[in-house]
Amino acid sequence: MLLNLIRKLAAASLLVFIASATASAQTLVFTAIPDEDETKLVERFKGIADYLSGELDVDVRYIPVKSYAAAISAFRNNQVQLAWFGGLSGVQARELVPGSEAIAQGVEDTAFYSHIIAHKSTGLDEMENLSDELRDKTFTFGSKGSTSGRLIPEYYIREAFGESPEDVFARVGFSGNHTRTLRLVEAGTYDVGAINFSVWDKEMENNNIDTDAVKVIWTTPSYPNYQWTIRGDVNERFGEGFSQRVQEALLAMDDPALLESFPRSGFIPVSNDAYDPIRVVGKQIGIID
Amino acid sequence: MLSYPTVRTSLIFTAIALVGLLFADIAITAANPWKDLGRFFLGVVTPDFFSTQGLATALLRTVAFAFVGVALGSVCGFLLALVYRAYPVRIFCAFIRAIHELFWALIFLQFFGFHPLTGVLAIAIPYSGIFAKVYSEILEEADPEPGRLLPPGTGVISAFLYARIPDCWVQIRTYTAYRLECGLRSSAILGFVGLPTLGFYLESAFSQGHYSDAGAMLILFYVLIATLPLWVKPKLLPVYILGAPFFLGDGMPIVWGNVTRFFTEDIVPSPLKNEEGWAGMGTWLGDVFVNQALPGIWNTVILTQIALVATGLIALLAFPLISTHFGGPIRRTSGHVFLVILRSTPEYILAYILLQLWGPSMLPAVVALALHNGGIIGHLIGRQSSSIALRPDAPTGLNRYTYELVPRVYRSFLAFLFYRWEIIMRETAILGILGIYTLGFYVDSAIQNIQFDKAMLLILITASLNIGVDILGRFIRRKLALQTMPTC
């Protein structure tokens, strides 16, 4: 009886390996940092998967992940070959995968910026510079690995106060993504938060913001952000010139519905060097070793 | 009364928790916590079972990961139990069970990625450690008499199978079945880090405020656990175990080079990797200890101590709900349902829900830990209290509770509480991933920054802390001569 059971269990565990070794090798898999509500991401990237698969003649699959680090790890581990990264996650990923390249960014990503938003109960108004009025408020970033929701806002907070955010604010949290930052500040769970302008504008356009409860009080200077990054070894796997074909397909994307879902007005070529400022800031703050 | 060691111990621990409260960050920061809570309960009573695509698949995966993980864990645990006397084996088992399933999952995610093996091992490894310990205790307590009666020359294996196993078979089976329930909970929360189980969808539904979808998932999960005895039959078990691996999903293929890289590069402390020598190593270690480990340990310990006492209070308040000495059958049935819901909801999910509703502080974590663990202990001592025969003229109501029942169940109550001390601490650490500043917060931050060397060091520190509390808990239980059966 017992031996029998053991034998069955051993067989079962062996099957785990076999069952899992059958994934197709000729599928281009991509992911994206989870910077917004998941439903929106799935909708957006299903569309991209269909579009790319039509343009490239290979199966294209999108997998959703739960954190920025998971997106970077999947890219590094070659479980995805293409990714829609933020500035910081892109720098981190390309540093970990030699030969990988930033191939396209949104038109808006050349000069991206972040807003600092505040709940009405704080009485905070638009300010020229980050001022002491912010002290001892509660503050939420987006994800820990976010460029527009953490890195850049933290950089300017440190610059303005000469202290870490933990010392400036009464409480510092990480909401997880931009949509959630908006909801938390709107609900007053946090007094103040950092959000990227693109999510803010889109939600504003869709009338999803209670403008009586939350408003923008400060905006950062501009910096380079989101980009498509591809692994260097895709050409060996999918054929010579594949990386370039992906780039061309992304640049040629003109379906308004697809672009609107980002939202970007179009994609333009970019190189790794464009993100040097992000790397410098990341090193200063200690997020990049 | 102070002369009783159990009372003294209780008072000391209560005092520690009260002092802890002075340092703890307890607050409701949400502007409308009750409105959101109301919306959540509205969602639970108006569940929407059809809006989430893939919910059925997620449930299936949750069950599949639980079966494969627990099965693998029980086999490995059984083999380890046979050699459990060896000191290194004991240490090894204590170590692997001191690391939470979610931490294991976060580690495996770095090199196996979204492969089913990540989820299976995340459950199987810590469960092996727990199974090894409990199985070995069960085997040790088996009656030695049948073995002595065997004819001389009987082989060791035959003696083991025919004289030892039959005596403890029932206990082994009961415990393994019980562990399967725990496995379902573990499997569900693995979704929170990205595996395709229930937690994956629950997290999305909650974070977007789709409370009806979340309500539907929670209800399905409770039904799944409550009906466990109906669909898990010994005869069907081989079918489930053989079938389960086919329902884990494809995931992504494993690239073995990643495994080598993780162990030979990623987790090597960065000063050693960058050849900064031992001086650099000292700075690095100092930085991790002062800025991450110490604040993490401090918050973890404070939160654990408060949650431990809160758990005790909830358990003492909750056990009359199912005790036959109070109320009629209707009260007791609703009491049962209530306690089943409390103990079926993993702390992690409870804490996640409360954090969304009340805003970030230690409060949601304390309440979640106390409700879940208090539910478990309340259920156990409630059942035990029902077996106590009271005199026909025993007092009723509050007097029956305070003078008759509580003193009689108090020792086993303390035993369960100290048994769960280490479990509460393990969970407290992991709740950091949700944004409370316990050790898990710093582990998660290190992983988010792709600093696996730091993450591993912090996980090791967390494990040592758990082992320490486990030893202390056992010491106190021995001092007070408390006996208990294992819970999870």
Q: Token digits for B355?
A: 């954090």
Burial class (CB in 10 A: 0-12, 13-18, 19+), B417: buried
Of the listed ranges B47-51, B116-120, B443-447, the least confidently predicted one is B47-51
Q: Looking at the partner chain, which of B193, B251, B445 has a beta carbon nearest the beta carbon of A20?
A: B251
Same domain for B241 and B287? Answer: no
Residue A82 lies in a domain: yes
**B437 interfaces chain A, CB cutoff of 8 Å:** no
Q: Looking at the partner chain, which of A9, A121, A173 has a beta carbon nearest the beta carbon of B71?
A: A9
**A42 interfaces chain B, CB cutoff of 8 Å:** no
Length of chain B: 488
pLDDT for the residue A7: 55
Same domain for B203 and B288? Answer: no
Length of chain A: 289
Residue B135 lies in a domain: yes
Residue B51 DSSP symbol: S
Same domain for B332 and B390? Answer: yes
Same domain for B338 and B402? Answer: yes
Q: Looking at the partner chain, which of B68, B110, B258 has a beta carbon nearest the beta carbon of A16?
A: B68
Q: How many domains does one find in chain B?
A: 2
Of the listed ranges A14-18, B195-199, B219-223, B249-253, the least confidently predicted one is A14-18
**A188 interfaces chain B, CB cutoff of 8 Å:** yes
Residue B157 lies in a domain: yes
Residue A281 lies in a domain: yes
Search chain B and give the residue with CA nearest A96: B450
Chain A CB contacts of B444 under 8 Å are 144
Taking residues B199-222, report their average pLDDT: 90
Residues B208, A39: C-beta atoms closer than 8 Å: yes
Question: Distance, in angstroms, between A173 CA and closest chain B CA?
Answer: 7
Of A141, A130, A195, A196, whose CA–CA distance to A166 is shortest? A141
Residue B2 lies in a domain: no
Write down which residue in A203, A219, A235 finishes a domain: A219
Same domain for B213 and B286? Answer: no
Taking residues B147-172, report their average pLDDT: 88
Residue B232 lies in a domain: yes
Same domain for A138 and A201? Answer: yes
Instruction: Give the separation between CA B102 and CA B105, rounded to whole angstroms.
Output: 5
Scan residues 373-432 of B and list those with Cβ closer than 8 Å to A: none
Q: Looking at the partner chain, which of A6, A23, A188 has a beta carbon nearest the beta carbon of B75?
A: A6
Residue A203 lies in a domain: yes
Cβ atoms within 10 Å of A78's Cβ, excluding its own? 19
- CATH number of the domain that B29 lies in? 1.10.3720.10
Write down which residue in B236, B266, B296 finishes a domain: B266
Burial class (CB in 10 A: 0-12, 13-18, 19+), B479: exposed
Q: Which domain holds residue A182?
A: 113-219
Residue A1 lies in a domain: no
Residue A9 lies in a domain: no
Same domain for A62 and A98? Answer: yes
Same domain for A64 and A33? Answer: yes
Same domain for B237 and B278? Answer: no
Same domain for A280 and A157? Answer: no
High-pLDDT (> 70) share of chain B, % = 100
List the Cα angle B477/B479/B482 in 5-degree steps: 40
Q: Are strands A171-174 and A138-141 parallel, antiparallel or unpaired?
A: parallel
Write down which residue in A179, A198, A219 finishes a domain: A219
Same domain for B32 and B58? Answer: no
Q: Which domain holds residue B96?
A: 50-266
Cα atoms found within 13 Å of the Cα of residue B383, Cβ hemisphere only: 8
Search chain B and give the residue with CA nearest A30: B252
Contact A12, B241 (CB under 8 A): yes
Write down which residue in A198, A219, A240 finishes a domain: A219
Q: What are the φ/ψ torsions at residue A228 (nearest 5 degrees)?
A: -85, 130
Residue type, A178: H
Residue B5 lies in a domain: no
Residue B4 lies in a domain: no
Q: Higher-confidence residue: B458 or A260?
A: B458
Same domain for B209 and B334? Answer: no
Same domain for A85 and A71? Answer: yes
pLDDT for the residue B488: 67
Write down which residue in B266, B291, B326 finishes a domain: B266
The CA distances from residue B352 to A99, A101, B112, B293, B451, in Å, are 39, 37, 26, 23, 25
Q: Higher-confidence residue: B291 or A3?
A: B291
Chain A CB contacts of B36 under 8 Å are 187
Q: Are strands A114-119 and A214-219 parallel, antiparallel or unpaired?
A: antiparallel
Q: Looking at the partner chain, which of B71, B244, B449 has a beta carbon nearest the beta carbon of A287?
A: B449
Residues A171, B110: C-beta atoms closer than 8 Å: no
Query: What pLDDT, in 10s, does the model give residues B33-80?
Result: 787 788 889 988 999 988 777 889 999 999 999 999 999 999 999 999
Q: Where are the alpha helices (DSSP H) in chain A?
A: 2-20, 38-56, 68-76, 87-96, 152-161, 165-168, 178-187, 197-205, 234-238, 242-251, 256-260, 276-285
Same domain for A98 and A239? Answer: yes
Chain B CB contacts of A283 under 8 Å are none
- CATH number of the domain that A124 lies in? 3.40.190.10
Taking residues B428-432, report their average pLDDT: 96
Taking residues B19-40, report their average pLDDT: 85
pLDDT for the residue A10: 53
Same domain for A202 and A168? Answer: yes
**B295 interfaces chain A, CB cutoff of 8 Å:** no
Taking residues B405-419, report their average pLDDT: 94
One digit per residue, the tens of pLDDT, for chain A of length 289 reads 445 555 554 555 544 444 444 444 489 999 999 988 888 898 899 999 999 999 999 999 999 999 999 999 999 999 999 999 999 999 999 999 999 999 999 999 999 999 999 999 999 999 999 999 999 999 999 999 999 999 999 999 999 999 999 999 999 999 988 998 998 899 888 999 999 999 999 999 999 999 999 999 999 999 999 999 999 999 999 999 999 999 999 999 999 999 988 889 999 999 999 999 999 999 998 888 7
Same domain for A38 and A97? Answer: yes
Instruction: Give the separation between CA B138 and CA B167, rounded to whole angstroms.
Output: 10
**B252 interfaces chain A, CB cutoff of 8 Å:** yes
pLDDT for the residue A254: 92
List the Cα angle A4/A8/A13 in 5-degree steps: 150
Residue A49 lies in a domain: yes
Contact B228, B180 (CB under 8 A): yes
List the Cα angle B428/B431/B433 in 5-degree steps: 140
**A15 interfaces chain B, CB cutoff of 8 Å:** yes
Same domain for B180 and B316? Answer: no
Residues B450, A69: C-beta atoms closer than 8 Å: yes
Q: Token digits for A213?
A: 């409860």
Same domain for B288 and B256? Answer: no
Same domain for B252 and B382? Answer: no
Question: Distance, in angstroms, between B148 CA and closest chain A CA?
Answer: 22
Mutation target to probe the A interface, by most A beta carbons within 10 A, among B29, B61, B200, B453 is B29
Same domain for A101 and A121? Answer: no
CA–centroid distance for A144 within its chain: 11
Query: What pLDDT, in 10s, does the model give residues B348-381?
Result: 999 998 988 888 899 999 999 999 999 999 999 9
Query: What pLDDT, in 10s, does the model give residues B242-261?
Result: 999 999 988 778 888 899 99
Same domain for A95 and A231? Answer: yes
Q: Provide the angle, in degrees to the nearest 10, between the axes of the packed helices B101-111 and B452-479.
A: 160
Same domain for B203 and B282? Answer: no
Residue B3 lies in a domain: no
Residue A273 lies in a domain: yes
pTM of the model: 0.90
Q: Token digits for B69?
A: 């993980």
Residue B6 lies in a domain: no
Residue A95 lies in a domain: yes
Instruction: Give the separation between CA A51 and CA A45, rounded to whole angstroms.
Output: 9
Same domain for A61 and A189? Answer: no
Q: How many domains does one find in chain A?
A: 2
Same domain for A104 and A230? Answer: yes
Regarding an ipTM greater than 0.95, the answer is no
